[in-house]
Amino acid sequence: MTSIHLKYLAINPVDLEWGLAVNSVGRQEIAPGSPYPPATHPTRYLFSPQKGRVLNEYQLLYITSGRGTFSCDTLGRDKLLHVNSGSMIMLFPGEWHNYRPDPETGWTEYWIGFKGPQADGLVEKGFFSKNRPVLEVSFHDDIADAYSRAINIAEEQKSGFQQALSGIVNSLLGMAYYYNRNLSFKQSNTERMIAKAKMLVAEQLFTIDPKSLSEQLFVSYSSFRRTFKEYTGFSPAKYILNQKIDQAKEMLTNSPAEIKEIAYRLGFENTDYFFTVFRRITGQTPLIYRSETQGRKL
């Protein structure tokens, strides 16, 4: 069994002012049939698999081999979630939790513990939730490499190491969110549908509308709208509108077409509405945008 444990990392007031500070980082391999946690586990973080534990910090764990189980207060102590190779587990401060590898497989785990208002803000805004503590992300070298970099930085503890570790934590949180979302979309064929929807918008930009788009995809509009917004962050109508404005910017910069003609070609009801939408999205009128991008004075 190969283990690296960093029991404590110094945090000073300046580190906390940065917005996020790291308490611990490490890696350990649990061989099949081995006791868990091992005797070499940091004393501060020891817990009994029979009793569980509560931490006063966040931890983000990454399981790169093996399998096991996880439970927490929010979902119910008796509810066991399956944890597999490629799972990440988010632990929350003040939340009772318990986890362990399957004795038949053992597992390899990376972890990093942290606290600060940056992490609190991500939870408050719903990017991470106690209701979704296990994130399926699959195996990615960039995640494992990020943990390894954090371990190296924490071992050296050079000046400013906490700020460097903070950047790695933000990167890990971003990758956890990104890979988890896209893996779930891929498994449900959402990714393929969204790609086709974007292609249809590009091909039929001047005439397409959200309902005809959903009809061409053979899905109900309400279902399509919900899925599209969840995936892209935009409703279909807003996405099409933004694509039209991007096309308008291209035409204003690189063509001599009159603004009225551009508005008509892009399917806007009238020039006034085109002006209103363009200004709302870009912060400029079409006239000012054209003059600035063409290097001319009004």
Kindly state the tokens that stand for 23: 């308490």
Tell me the domains of the chain and their CATH numbers: 3-187 (2.60.120.280), 190-293 (1.10.10.60)
SS3 for 99? strand
CA distance 201 to 213: 8
CA distance 34 to 137: 26
pLDDT tens track for 140-196: 999 999 999 999 999 899 989 999 999 999 999 999 999 998 887 776 678 788 889
User: Dmax of the chain from CA atoms?
Assistant: 78
Q: Is the pLDDT of residue 298 over 60?
A: no
C-alpha angle 178-220-200 in degrees, rounded to nearest 5: 65
The position carrying tokens 């924490």 is 154
Treating both helix axes as pointing N-terminal to C-terminal, what angle do 286-293 and 271-282 enclose, rounded to 10 degrees?
60
* pLDDT cut 70: percent of the chain above it: 92
CA distance 209 to 237: 7
What is the predicted pLDDT for the residue at 79?
A: 94
Query: What is the model's pTM?
Result: 0.69
Q: Is the pLDDT of residue 48 over 70?
A: no
CA distance 203 to 221: 20
pLDDT tens track for 108-126: 999 999 999 999 999 999 9
CA distance 17 to 165: 14
Q: Is the pLDDT of residue 137 over 90?
A: yes
Please state the φ and ψ torsions of residue 283, each to the nearest 5 degrees.
Answer: 85, 5
> Per-residue confidence at 1, pLDDT binned at 50, 70, 90?
very low
